[in-house]
Chains A and B, each alone.
Chain A
């Protein structure tokens, strides 16, 4: 299906540091379709992680804020509440305008996140089983089949009534089922383990398990394999790919690795200095990159089996977000720089079945 599930319009995020403004994400618009894997690629500091955090309003308010834009999440009420009599109704919710209470339902519930480093994302003093159970308890009381009227009351009032002994059994079954789903070989053992007893790959599986435990519509995976070994990396990516089909979700995969983008995503967004500079189907972009930055990036990758005497490098450095150049932000490093690039900013325009922001094609 090609229906939009999330649409971001003109999103800008700024960070503040010592009275200076860092424009981390500038005027970004994008959409995520149902059942697709969207890749976001870019160098460190290009705003890709900030964009991911902004989608769930996770930007630390002491450090920065979302200055403008809309994030529209299309919510389908697929008949889970027959009493309401509104089965199948869809509505667009602007995540940026939701109350904290409403946001909680989406954050971790409808849109889940998998972070880069499982070591720091899991609580080291709580057993794995309990950590996953906590997510289920917060988001989906209804699947626990409350056995007593007291618990049914707890469900209606949306509070944990403290009757944990009664919950425990059904929740444990559910958690074990989730651990099996993320292909953990000994779910019983892992259920009772602490995070430090598991390898990095296993911990990341647990993180993915937590993310899917609420049956989200979208999973945002921010560099999910950067902290892992190459062999584990492949297993985790294959798992995400499998789960996406199995649970019909969308995945946003943030990475700086072009190889991963090429193998695991359908559509890709290339970011540079807080902006989208190219966007389109992966195959089209890799076979014919249009933006000079995308071209240079793809050229600079060493290709397996080939042995040229030198790699083609991109001159210069990753831009300093505090002092961005006027005009096109890539112009100091661009080999196809023209006069117009120094003064005017290019717009993201539709060219050759993809969007690209470069004066070469305007």
Chain B
């Protein structure tokens, strides 16, 4: 077992408009338990507001849960320092336009990640590393002094993936990595993620609302609704005989390409 979470729970306060007093709490994630094996792709589906992104952020460490435990390689995550955790788990964000600092060059963005992993590294070595990373994600290597705004959404997402890879993580949490990309580019990025999985045996938690993507990628699917994991199983099982009414509704609402495709 690479990663396991037990009864994770997170609620956010609702503040009154006038005095910002807490007048209630909204439960974003309720009792979420999941487990991820090495080399596995775990699909996390649900509509917006179902808590899937919050769950992803808890696992990567961007949000502290109210209660519950996370075990990484059978050790409680509390025993890891922030850096150790970052070396194991990385995240690729939904919006490639918002997740790269517009004032840093691509070289700086990637160098930052590399230096987090290896403190002592010579300049030449560092440049070598960056070029290697860019090669991995299929980007040209002469872009080190370019800035994020010079790239398209798909290219930025590749840079985001390169940044995650710089830590040589064992788990990548991909939060809707293709939902803001064009259809013709989506397939490129999904293929890249699959290639990297084979090359480095990375495990993914793939967060999405696009069921056609998840059934294609995932080995195991969790369906979330209002903070709860309401159904889990292999894609074929969930697809053919969903047990929960909501899952059925979710899958039926997907527009299908019904016409015969050659």
Contact = CB atoms under 8 A, between A and B. Distances in A.
A304 B255 contact: no
Interface string A192-212: 000000000000000000000
Nearest to B180: A44
Interface stretch (A70-78, A165-173, A251-259): A251-259
Contacts of A286: 257, 259-261
B216 A264 contact: no
B205 to A, nearest CB: 18
A310 B191 contact: yes
B48 A229 contact: yes
Given A303-B212, A311-B190, A287 B185 contact: no
A313 B215 contact: no
B182 A259 contact: no
Given A43-B183, A43-B184, A317-B154, A301 B212 contact: yes
Interface residues of B, number: 38
Interface of A: 43-44, 229-235, 237, 256-260, 262-264, 282-283, 286-288, 296-298, 300-315, 317-318
Nearest to B49: A229
B27 interface: no
Nearest to A306: B216
B188 interface: yes
5 contacts: A229-B48, A230-B47, A297-B184, A304-B215, A309-B194
A72 to B, nearest CB: 31
Given A231-B250, A286-B260, A257 B255 contact: yes
Given A230-B209, A310-B194, 4 more contacts: A264-B255, A302-B215, A302-B216, A310-B191
Contacts of A231: 47, 249-250, 253
Nearest to B194: A310
B230 interface: no
A288 B184 contact: no
A232 B256 CA distance: 15
B258 A318 contact: no
B66 to A, nearest CB: 26
Contacts of A230: 47, 209-211, 250, 253-254
Interface string B160-187: 0000000000000000000000111111
A92 B256 CA distance: 38
A258 B187 CA distance: 14
Contacts of B154: 317
B190 A260 contact: no
A175 to B, nearest CB: 29
Given A229-B47, A301-B212, A313 B259 contact: no
Contacts of A297: 183-184
B184 A313 contact: yes
Q: Give the most central of A229, A298, A302: most B CB within 10 Å.
A: A302
B11 to A, nearest CB: 21
B58 interface: no
A300 B250 contact: no
A303 B235 CA distance: 13
B255 A283 contact: no
B30 to A, nearest CB: 20
Nearest to B155: A317
Nearest to A310: B191
A226 to B, nearest CB: 10
B185 A317 contact: yes
Given A231-B249, A262-B256, A298-B261, A304 B211 contact: yes
Contact of B190 (A287, A302, A317): A302
B121 interface: no
A310 B184 CA distance: 14
Contact of B257 (A237, A301, A310): A301
Contact of B215 (A283, A287, A305, A312): A305
Nearest to A238: B253
Contacts of A304: 211-212, 215, 239, 254, 256
B191 A313 contact: yes
